Amino acid sequence: MLNALHAQPQDKILQLIQLYKDDPRETKIDLGVGVYKDATGLTPVMRAVKAAEKQLWEVETTKTYTNLAGDPAYAEAMQALLLDGAVPADRLSAAATPGGTGAIRQALGLVQLANPEATIWLSNPTWPNHPSIIKYLGMKMADYRYFDADSRGVDFDGMLADLAQAKAGDVVLLHACCHNPTGANLTLPQWAAVADLLAKTGAIPFVDIAYQGFGDGLAEDAAGLRLLAGRLPELLIAASCSKNFGIYRERTGIVIAVSPKPEMRAVVQDNLAFLNRQTYSFPPDHGARLVTMILNDPALRADWQAELEDIRKNMLTLREALAAELRRLSGSDRFGFLAQHRGMFSRLGATPEQVETLRREHGIYMVGDSRMNIAGLNARTVPILAKAIIDTGI
């Protein structure tokens, strides 16, 4: 049987990681991997996480299972963080998942159970795992225009024109903030226009929020999500705690479904528990418990928010520094979009050949579509990258 299997296409980011590891140059720069790094190149454990782990070690008395959908206290804490009362609690169903990817997988499973013929609409471009999972599940998908290659901003007119073709019962996947891979985000008035369009077409928003707190702030980064939740009858949310809590390896995520009526909540909750049972039974709890402790303890929460704000400001400082250095070297403001984008990523606008030149001649590693992780930079490497970009003719 097993000899009938074929090798799967290699993940380009994982290939990039290996190429970077094999590169002997001391001046090499890794802008490919999607994790936050501090100025020393380390992805640190946040202070509040360490403090919560110490508390948990002292008081935890069992490692038995929680519930199929995870600890209800985790769901309540995350619902408050994400939605801040935008939707009554009696319309919310939720299930803990292994990371944001698990949340996306379970949300799509819920769509399959409810409407197997639904088309999933994806921004062009989007995170590569979105179409990969949808294709694996055998679901229908379509693209909507999102990124304007000339301005490096959002092609909002094109986005609305494409989404106007979505049918009732289709699902529109939206990035809440810090769009991956482009860094270009919707404004709040644009979110309102999207809500109006979805209300008209009957398509259902599915919001992927993996970087809350990395863009403009915790509340600001969830503003579009909350607007949709307050205006539309149905909504799906996939959230990750990997980035804003720095607990990547703990695989901590959640899927949340907003039902049109309170009486539907129990059925939706039952289906989410069913999907967890079929996929991995009980979800992991360690990371979820740490998040719950931090969000519910005023002192831990205050320290977490302070450190998260430092991380956000560091990325913004790096963006502004890179844009300024490129302005100095190029004599133009054609890279000004880097300071306007938010989150870890920006799409530089380089060709695959130019990206290869950056790797080969300058030891600078980024994804082939020129997505680069701003958090991979520091004060020393910003000028090196800027000079390499100009020398490559980008």
Structure tokens given for 274: 């069913």
Q: Residue 382 has what pLDDT? A: 97
CB atoms within 10 A of CB 169: 16
From the list 207, 148, 157, the residue with the least C-alpha distance to 183 is 148
From the list 210, 218, 219, the residue with the least C-alpha distance to 243 is 210
CB 358 within 8 A of CB 371: no
The reply to whether 304 belongs to the active site is no
Distance of CA 82 to the CA centre of its chain: 13
Q: Residues with Cβ < 8 Å from 307, sequence gap 6 or more?
A: 46, 47, 48
pLDDT tens readout for residues 146-177? 999 999 999 999 999 999 999 999 999 999 99
Structure tokens given for 168: 């009732």
What band does 13 get if pLDDT is binned at 50, 70 and 90?
confident
Predicted confidence (pLDDT) at residue 9 exceeds the cutoff of 90: no
Q: Residue 146 has what pLDDT? A: 98
What band does 107 get if pLDDT is binned at 50, 70 and 90?
very high
| The CATH number fitting domain 11-45+310-391, selected from 3.40.1190.20, 1.10.760.10, 3.30.200.210, 3.90.1150.10 | 3.90.1150.10
Q: What is the DSSP letter of 99?
A: H
Query: Which strand (E) or helix (H) includes residue 372?
Result: strand 371-373
Domain boundaries, the chain: 11-45+310-391, 65-296
Predicted confidence (pLDDT) at residue 16 exceeds the cutoff of 90: no
Q: Which residues pair with 124 in a beta bridge?
A: 145
Predicted confidence (pLDDT) at residue 314 exceeds the cutoff of 90: yes
Mean pLDDT of 196-206: 98
Identified catalytic residue from 203, 210, 257, 321: 210
Q: Residue 328 has what pLDDT? A: 97
Terminal Cα-to-Cα distance of the chain (whole angstroms): 49
Side chain identity at residue 50, one-letter code: K
From the list 393, 380, 363, the residue with the least C-alpha distance to 32 is 363
Length of the chain: 394
The reply to whether 243 belongs to the active site is yes
The reply to whether 285 belongs to the active site is no
Identified catalytic residue from 121, 127, 191, 304: 127
This prediction's pTM: 0.96
pLDDT tens readout for residues 278-312? 999 999 999 999 999 999 999 999 999 999 999 99
Rounded CA separation 139/117 (Å): 8
| Cis-peptide into 125, omega within 30 deg | yes
Side chain identity at residue 176, one-letter code: A
Give the CB-side neighbour count of residue 283, counting CA atoms within 13 A: 34
User: What CATH number is given for 65-296 in this structure?
Assistant: 3.40.640.10
What band does 104 get if pLDDT is binned at 50, 70 and 90?
very high
Predicted confidence (pLDDT) at residue 10 exceeds the cutoff of 90: no
Predicted confidence (pLDDT) at residue 111 exceeds the cutoff of 90: yes
From the list 284, 381, 386, the residue with the least C-alpha distance to 326 is 386
Rounded CA separation 379/394 (Å): 21
Mean pLDDT of 19-38: 91
- State the chain's mean pLDDT as an integer: 96
Q: Residue 39 has what pLDDT? A: 86
pLDDT tens readout for residues 44-92? 999 999 999 999 999 999 999 999 999 999 999 999 999 999 999 999 9
Identified catalytic residue from 30, 155, 208, 285: 208
Q: Residue 366 has what pLDDT? A: 94
pLDDT tens readout for residues 232-243? 999 999 999 999
Rounded CA separation 81/69 (Å): 18
Q: Residue 358 has what pLDDT? A: 96
CB 285 within 8 A of CB 345: no
Structure tokens given for 150: 């000339």
Identified catalytic residue from 118, 121, 155, 243: 243
% of residues, the chain, pLDDT over 70: 100
Q: Quick one: residue 330, left, alpha or beta (phi over 0 = left, psi -120 to 50 = alpha)?
A: alpha
The reply to whether 118 belongs to the active site is no
